[in-house]
Chains A and B, each alone.
Chain A
Amino acid sequence: MPPKRKNNISINIEDVGMDVDASDSGSEVEARRRAKNRRAKPQRKAKRVSDNDDEDEEEEDEDESPRKRGRKKKAKPRDSEDDEEEDNRNVKRKSSKASRKKAKDESDEESEDEGEKKKKGASKKEKEENKEKGKGKGKGKQGKDAGAEKDKKKKNRKLSSSIEEEEEEKSEGESLSEGEMAALKEEVEEKKKLIATLRNKPWRMKRRLTLLKEAQDFVEKFEGALGKGKGRKLFAFKVMMAKKLIKLKRDFENFKTACIPWEGKIKDVESHFGSSVASYFIFLRWMYGLNMVLLGLMFGLVVVPEVLMGLPYGSIPRKTVPREEQATAMDYSTLTDFEGYFKYSILFYGYYNNERQIGLLKFRLPLSYLLVGVGIFGYSLMVVIRTMARNANEGGDGGDEGDFTFSWKMFTSWDYLIGNPETADNKYASITTSFKESIVDEQMNQKDENIHLRRFLRVLANVLILCSLGGSGYLIYYVVKRSQVFANMNKDDLTWMEKNEVEFVMSLLGLVCPPLFEAIAELEDYHPRIALKWQLGRIFALFLGNLYTFLFALFDEVNAKLESEKDIKNATILALNEYAANYSSYYNTTNVPPQNVHPADVIRGPCWETAVGKEFVKLTVSDIQVTYLTILVGDFLRAVIVRFLNYCWCWDLEAGFPSYGEFDISGNVLGLIFNQGMIWMGAFYAPGLVGLNILRLLSSMYYQTWAVMCTNVPHERVFKASGSNNFYMGLLLLVLFLSLLPVVYTIMTLSPSFDCGPFSGQEKMYDVVMETIDQDLPAFIGNIFVYATNPGLIMPAVLLMVLALYYLNAVSKGYQQANIDLKKKMQMAREEEKNRRNNKDSTNQVMKDLEDLLPNKSLIPPPAEEEPPPPDVVVDKGSRSPKVKPGAAGKGVHLQRDVSLAAPNPRDPVTRDPGPRRGPPENARGPQPGPGRGRGGGRGGGRGRGGPPRQYEY
């Protein structure tokens, strides 16, 4: 054989990929096939099929031959197998061309060869086939007599005839028929698919590269040939464009990954602290992206147009600091309170003018302001929900917990991202603990009395936490009430403490409560991942309570402001009338010129919108301060002290009491979420807040990654973050909804201030939309709008939506049910399978009972010998497995090799009869194989083996 192989080396190399996707000789064989097809069209299909069959057969051969050859060449790699096969074929091809006689010789040699191989279990059929092969080659030239001959013969004929036609093809040129085109196209498509999915194939890189090259060459070569006549050029152009597009896409992908910021930083953190801490930073980055879009909307459509095209500072009252404030307007303390110049700047609602169209572009600022304010919510809602949906899809089927506790622990508990020795040590420890826990669980099987204690502790913990939640809620309520009292008093009499009591108490609660909750949660003893969720939920409740208490206080204030605004408005109108009356009586004219007052001196209302915006900005700023200070003091200072005082201290500071801080995931995530809620609520009244928030996120990205890397230690029980952070997203969605409520409420019900903001002069803020529809759009759109807002139409629409919701809900429930059923079925099948293999049919109790009722049962000696079954079962398993595996593993070659390697295994069940040797135990279990056989009858011979022993007994 070796010499032959030499001849055909080039083809052999190509042939490596043959079995995978029929690529290889692709170009060559395919070309021949095409050529031949032209002549023998009617037969084409049949041959195609036969070709496939052929290949199947080859594969079968492959599976079989090593088994038979087993002793000779045990570890013969698959590729060489292919080579050989191809050798034969090539030989045939050549021989047919050269001389008939030689072919015969060759085939004889071959058949001899194969005959040798199969000496032991040889079948005559095989030999016949070989002979036929030879014949086939001989007849090859006639080529056209079809019939009931063997597949291989056909193929040989085809091959030989194809070679003749190769020359013809050259002369005829490249005109292809439709069918061939389709076939070629298919092939090209296949290649393309291969190229696209190559990276998912578990092959060695070298092989992948060669395959890729081949596939690309093939596509290159034949893609151009697909078009014909006039269409060819167009087709070539199309192909070229497609290529360019792919290139462009790839470049874009490269660009996109290059644009993801902080990837390196996050990976760094990830390798030190595991994926749970990293998940916070990924969340932070996501938030940053979201806020960048919000910033773009807000600044691009509201702030920048106002700055560029609106009236400048100092031109009208709302854009000017009032006279009495001017003295202190630039003081530091004023500015930190966002009074003075800040209050009358583009940061806040009040600065914007209510002119309908501004600048050269006739930009409708008030309309844009309202739409952006609402659009921010719309966009955020869409993004959050989309992310959630995507995460949910990625999550996969959660799987049936408890089925694979140990296997999962064993194979998936290591976090492959850990690259830090300390973290790794912690991980080792936590894995060991978790294994021990599971072992204990397994041994105890949950029958310990501790369960009561644990339950009690969990209830106790929840009670304690509810108490502290209630306490904090009451505290805030109390403080807010007090602050309302203070607000009515003179500002100069109040101390700093009294002025800032609300913010102070809220920050303090936010600082004290989470650690308190964590301490209480120790009682519960949950898995850290579950504990984290509980902790998140609790802190969430706390923050939410605080926020809403704050909001209610704010509403009180707004209502008070609205009252006072009415008075001021009336006073202004009164003053104006008075001025007009005086003027007309003095100059005796009805043509009153407008009052000439400096904008700083005009009487103005309290402008509640700006006040609300100011509150939110102040709250955000104080939140930033508190967070950063906590990190600086709580983490950095602590780390410094622990690190350097450790040299001169009486106990080990690093291992003992203060030690280094851990990164507080739950607190940080919630801080981020609530901060975002504040931004959403405040953005409408203080457009500058979005910019402020971007600064905060940006700085906190750098600051916190620094802090975590240099001051924190990894968690004691390092755990993986759950795959999708949908929990965070869910919280975010809730906060988004909760912050949507007050804003929409104010927009829809409260009337805007009369002398500040883009909506001044309107009865309601949304009137600006109505106005635009009435004045600027064609009448029919206004009509449509009127119809659309008609309750008669809205009601049915709502009804329809409810119905759709109901329907979709029902459908999803149905799917869920189907899912559960399928799962159950799978579980059942698995159990069944397992039990059948272990030969203890505990599931099929009914069958067992039936067996017991058989009349023969009484004749069999009572089952006194029940003890032996364990060994019986084991041996049974062992002897049974070989029958089972070919089906299950599907890899005959490996299996066979395995068999020969695994010496001690009782692998020759055919020669041995397990039943009689064991005697009595088998006797006792006699009736059992019955159902086994009955059930598994269709599964092939393996099951039938239960039979003989019984017959033997009876």
Chain B
Amino acid sequence: MGNKQTIFTDEQLDAYQDCTFFTRKEILRLHGRYHELAPHLVPMDYTNEPDCKVPLALIVNMPELKENPFRNRIVESFSEDGMGNLSFNEFVDMFSVLSEMAPRELKAIYAFKIYDFNVDNYLCKEDLEKTLNRLTKEELTPEEVQLVCEKAIEEADLDGDSKLSFADFENMITRAPDFLR
């Protein structure tokens, strides 16, 4: 554990622990992973908070995300610039929200962001179609996709604007038995 002082100061680690659902060891491991992604970009020494970002293409190729149909969206919604470049802070943030310990409410917020492909704070039909096509690898016929999207909106839309606001989404998702992780 000799190297932990060189990566972060104790205050930094404490701060990260306060802000995330991780333990000290996990944060260090996360940094290791982050460093691995782009060894030439990311410095080992984080005590003076260097400003560096890892591009989307590298993060998406992590084994944790590689098979996920929404990998680009996940990374994008956690990046501050919306393009998918993640600083270490955002990187930790992402895994903190995705971790088991994060509460449902928090997950719901980010899930909403992830499914909101065109970033307009509503899930419209377009978003749903994209979601569906990613989930099924475009195996469904366009008619089926249409039907499913319409049904989904009809089910969850409370205010009748034929798109889902966050309130609708939250109402729907928090009742789902499967919405755990």
Binding site for B on A (CB under 8 A): 195, 198-202, 204-206, 208-209, 212-213, 250, 253-254, 257-258, 271, 395-400, 403-408, 410-421, 423-424, 428, 431-432, 435-436, 438-439, 442, 720, 722-723, 830, 833-834, 837-838, 877-878, 880-881, 884-885, 888-891, 894, 898, 901
Contact = CB atoms under 8 A, between A and B. Distances in A.
9 contacts: A202-B110, A418-B67, A419-B64, A419-B66, A424-B67, A428-B136, A435-B135, A881-B160, A888-B167
A412 B103 contact: no
A880 B160 contact: yes
Contacts of A436: 140, 144
A888 B24 contact: no
Interface stretch (B33-41, B52-60, B89-97): B89-97
B178 A408 contact: yes
Interface in B7-50: 14-15, 17-21, 23-26
Given A408-B178, A722-B177, A205 B93 contact: yes
B160 A411 contact: no
A420 B64 CA distance: 9
B178 A195 contact: no
Contacts, number: 191
Nearest to B136: A432
Contact of B90 (A205, A418, A419, A901): A205
A198 B106 contact: no
Nearest 6 Cβ contacts at the A-B interface:
A837-B160, A399-B175, A205-B89, A424-B67, A881-B161, A406-B152
A884 B66 contact: no
Contacts of B109: 202
Interface in B136-176: 136-137, 139-140, 144, 147-148, 151-152, 155-162, 165-167, 169, 172-176
Contacts of B106: 200-202
Contacts of A418: 67-68
B19 A208 contact: yes
B160 A884 contact: yes
**Most chain A Cβ neighbours within 10 Å, of B67, B122, B158, B159:** B67
Interface of B: 14-15, 17-21, 23-26, 63-64, 66-70, 80, 87, 89-90, 92-93, 96, 98, 102-106, 109-111, 115, 120-122, 128, 131-132, 135-137, 139-140, 144, 147-148, 151-152, 155-162, 165-167, 169, 172-181
Nearest to A719: B178
Contacts of A205: 19, 87, 89-90, 92-93
Nearest to A889: B165
A399 B177 contact: yes
B47 to A, nearest CB: 14
A474 to B, nearest CB: 41
Nearest to B167: A888
Contacts of A891: 121
A407 B111 CA distance: 13
Contacts of B24: 254
A617 to B, nearest CB: 39
Contacts of B26: 257
Given A408-B178, A432-B140, A898-B122, 13 more contacts: A195-B18, A204-B89, A250-B14, A253-B23, A271-B64, A407-B172, A410-B148, A411-B172, A416-B98, A419-B66, A428-B69, A438-B148, A878-B161
Contacts of A885: 159, 161, 165
A891 B167 CA distance: 11
B160 A254 contact: no
